[in-house]
């Protein structure tokens, strides 16, 4: 697998991956995260333009997509709990993989790649996203507490330092 920045030509495939991830979440009991058409196409277009959207490919097929940035996230300023440290960190959001055999392991691959970019990563997820929580804990991320999105929704906050 390889990681590269998302291009405008990737947009249709990326949006299909997000649609599949939303359906999979519902089937897995996570009914409240990524409601309707989240993330919206305009947000992904903004991420691509800003250079913060990445895709993971396997044999030239896009198998996963995620947001990655090393700019501090304002929603991580207030936490009910405590971050492991306040050292500079990378942020991962909107990570999703295709529902294909080629995508197996892509989530872990993406998160491990992020750790090679900066050895301190913060990420959050919905409390009902059991598969993401299991992935994060399996990769050594520690639950640090609860943060609130701009819309007031709670998310479980995780951090990993190497």
Number of neighbouring beta carbons within 10 Å of residue 160: 21
Residue carrying the six token digits 């750790």 = 115
Q: What is the CATH number of the domain that holds 146?
A: 3.40.630.30
90: closest CA among 159, 27, 40?
Answer: 159
Please report the pLDDT score of residue 31 as a whole number. Answer: 55
- Confidence at residue 1, expressed as pLDDT on a 0 to 100 scale: 95
pLDDT at 39: 86
* pLDDT score for 29: 65
pLDDT for position 19:
85
The parent domain of residue 59 ranges over 2-161
**The pLDDT of residue 130:** 85
Nearest of 6, 22, 102, 88 to residue 54 by alpha carbon = 6
For the chain, how many structural domains are there in total? 1
Residue 33 has what pLDDT?
61
- Pairing status of strand 80-81 against strand 142-148: antiparallel
Instruction: Mention every residue, 6+ apart, whose C-beta is less than 8 A from residue 23.
Output: none
* Structure confidence at residue 24 (pLDDT): 66
Please check whether residue 90 is in contact with residue 120, taking contact to mean a CB–CB distance below 8 angstroms: yes
| Model confidence, pTM | 0.91
Q: How high is the pLDDT of residue 99?
A: 85
**Residues 122/88, Cβ–Cβ less than 8 Å:** no
Task: Annotate 33-85 with DSSP letters as a single string.
Answer: TT-TTPSPHHHHHHHHHHT-EEEEEETTEEEEEEEEE-SPPGGGSS-EE--S-
Per-residue pLDDT of the chain (162 residues; tens, 9 = 90+): 999 999 999 999 999 998 887 766 666 766 566 667 778 899 999 999 999 999 999 999 999 999 999 999 999 999 999 999 999 999 999 999 998 888 899 999 999 999 999 999 999 998 988 889 999 999 999 999 999 999 898 999 999 998
């Amino acid at each position: 697998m390889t990681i590269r920045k998302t291009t405008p030509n990737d947009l249709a495939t990326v949006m299909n991956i997000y649609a599949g991830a939303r359906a999979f979440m519902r089937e897995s009991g996570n009914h409240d995260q990524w409601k309707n058409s989240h993330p919206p196409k305009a947000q992904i277009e903004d991420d691509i333009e800003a250079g913060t959207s990445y895709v993971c490919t396997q044999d030239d097929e896009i198998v996963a997509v995620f947001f990655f940035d090393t700019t501090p996230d304002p929603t991580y300023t207030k936490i009910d709990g405590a971050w492991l440290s306040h050292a500079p960190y990378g942020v991962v959001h909107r990570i999703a993989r295709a529902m294909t055999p080629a995508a197996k392991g892509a989530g872990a691959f993406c998160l491990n790649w992020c750790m090679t970019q900066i050895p301190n990563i913060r990420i959050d997820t919905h409390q009902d996203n059991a598969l993401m929580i299991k992935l994060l804990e399996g990769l050594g991320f520690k639950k640090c507490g609860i943060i609130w999105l701009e819309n007031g929704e709670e998310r479980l906050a995780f951090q990993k330092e190497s």
